[in-house]
Amino acid sequence: MNKDQVKGRVEEAKGKVKEVAGKILDDKGMEIEGNIQKNVGKVQKGFGDLKKDIKDKLEEDD
């Protein structure tokens, strides 16, 4: 697992917590901010997954 995968998963989890807290507290701003943070984390995790796949493929071809 590379650092982008780890950081992405952490950001995704933090965003989900913030989104749920916003719903519970009826704070639309916090809810939206959490949703954005969650989606940014998903993108970063996806980027990390892609990097790992490329690295694995290059090592496989050697």
User: Per-residue DSSP letters for 25-53?
Assistant: TT-HHHHHHHHHHHHHHHHHHHHHHHHHH
pLDDT for the residue 19: 98
pTM of the model as a whole: 0.86
Q: Write out the chain's pLDDT in tens, 62 residues.
A: 999 999 999 999 999 999 999 999 999 999 999 999 999 999 999 999 999 999 999 998 87
pLDDT for the residue 27: 98
pLDDT for the residue 21: 98
